[in-house]
């Protein structure tokens, strides 16, 4: 028996066994969802649709109960939906179909945000008061201020 070969094998065996053990642990800890059909673009578009539905429900709440804070919530939910749709371009599964869907979501949210902004009151009525002066209370009878 060759003592030289035996010593070499004994010296490198812990390194190889540690490397194999690390590879086995890394393979065991990998999430199975990521391996089996993880779709980044589709998931982000689903979340964008969820945010858009939340925005629509907030706008409906404003129309039903005249809650002004619901308008701001609707605008921000719509903005989140738009940002998620824009983020699909960073996905590895970004293709023409997802691109078209993202563009449709963005266009819908732009129109929705215009609708929300058109329903928002001016937070500072000072400009209108300066323009109308004494006639402000007669013109805007329902103003709380």
List the domain boundaries for the chain: 1-30, 39-139
2, pLDDT greater than 60: no
For residues 108 and 83, the answer to whether their CB atoms sit within 8 Å is no
- What does the angle CA 111 – CA 114 – CA 119 come to, to the nearest 5 degrees? 135
pLDDT of residue 35: 41
Confidence of residue 32 (pLDDT cuts 50, 70, 90): very low
Q: How far apart are CA 50 and CA 126, in angstroms?
A: 37
Give 3's pLDDT tier (boundaries 50, 70, 90). Answer: low
User: For residues 137 and 120, what is the distance between their CA atoms, to the nearest angstrom?
Assistant: 20
Say whether pLDDT at 95 is over 60.
yes
Which pLDDT band holds residue 69 (cuts at 50, 70, 90)? confident
| Percentages of the chain per state (helix, strand, coil), in multiples of 5 | 80, 0, 20
The owner of tokens 């960073």 is 90
What pLDDT is stored for residue 66 in this prediction? 82
Q: What is the DSSP letter of 121?
A: P
The pLDDT of residue 104 is 95
pTM over 0.75? The answer is no
Closest listed residue to residue 47, CA positions, set 99, 90, 82, 98? 82
């Amino acid at each position: 028996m060759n003592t030289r070969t035996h010593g070499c094998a004994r010296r490198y065996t812990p390194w190889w066994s540690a490397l194999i053990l690390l590879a086995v642990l890394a393979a065991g800890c990998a999430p199975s969802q990521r391996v089996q059909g993880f779709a980044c673009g589709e998931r982000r578009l689903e979340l964008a649709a969820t945010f858009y539905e939340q925005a629509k429900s907030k706008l409906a709440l404003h129309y039903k109960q005249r809650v002004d804070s619901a308008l701001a919530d609707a605008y921000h939910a719509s903005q989140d939906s738009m940002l998620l749709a824009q983020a699909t371009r960073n996905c590895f599964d970004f293709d023409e179909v997802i691109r078209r869907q993202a563009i449709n979501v963005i266009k819908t949210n732009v129109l929705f945000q215009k609708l929300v902004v058109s329903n928002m009151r001016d937070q500072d009525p000072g400009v209108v008061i300066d323009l109308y002066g004494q006639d402000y209370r007669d013109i805007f009878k329902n103003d709380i201020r």
